[in-house]
């Protein structure tokens, strides 16, 4: 009985031609179009993502200047616009600071609340779906 070495077997496996892969499922073999199915392409209508507005709420303790700075820093508003938003918060009890996708709005809320917490102010901010 002749024994083949591991090296000889590896050479055989490396030089052996690979077998032809089977034809993909539901596709006819080359040259044979019988039995094929053509599906009609339909355009998909996608809706834009739900947008959320970031609303800052009024309180009697947070300084107006702090609110203006927060609006400028986290909502990229100029000083005049930030002051107008702050006055709306003060007079109406709340105001929209910006409209964003859900994740961005949640991040903005977290940033505002963290800044208020670090400064020792009870400023509140929420996000709600735009209707």
Residue 70 — very low, low, confident or very high, per pLDDT cuts 50/70/90? Answer: very high
| Phi and psi based region of residue 120 (left: phi greater than 0; alpha: psi -120 to 50; beta: remaining) | left
Q: What is the pLDDT of residues 28-60, one digit of tens each?
A: 555 555 667 778 888 888 889 999 999 999 999
Q: What is the pLDDT of residue 130?
A: 95
Spatial CB neighbours of 126, under 8 Å, sequence gap ≥ 6: 54, 55, 57, 109
Can you tell me the mean pLDDT for 89-105?
A: 97
Cβ distance 86 to 67 under 8 Å?
yes
Domains, the chain, with CATH or none? 62-129 (3.30.1390.10)
- pTM (two decimals): 0.66
């Amino acid at each position: 009985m002749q024994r083949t070495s591991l090296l000889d077997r590896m050479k055989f496996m490396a030089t052996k031609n690979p077998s032809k892969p089977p034809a993909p499922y539901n596709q006819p073999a080359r040259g044979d179009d019988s039995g094929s199915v053509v599906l009609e392409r339909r355009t998909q209508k996608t809706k834009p993502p739900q947008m959320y507005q970031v609303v800052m709420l009024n309180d009697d303790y947070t300084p107006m200047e702090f609110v203006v700075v927060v609006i400028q820093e986290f909502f990229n508003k100029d000083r005049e616009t930030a002051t107008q938003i702050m006055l709306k918060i003060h007079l109406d009890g709340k105001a929209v600071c910006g409209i964003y996708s859900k994740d961005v709005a949640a991040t903005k809320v977290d940033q505002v609340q963290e800044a208020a917490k670090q400064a020792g102010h009870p400023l509140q901010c929420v996000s709600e779906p735009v209707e």
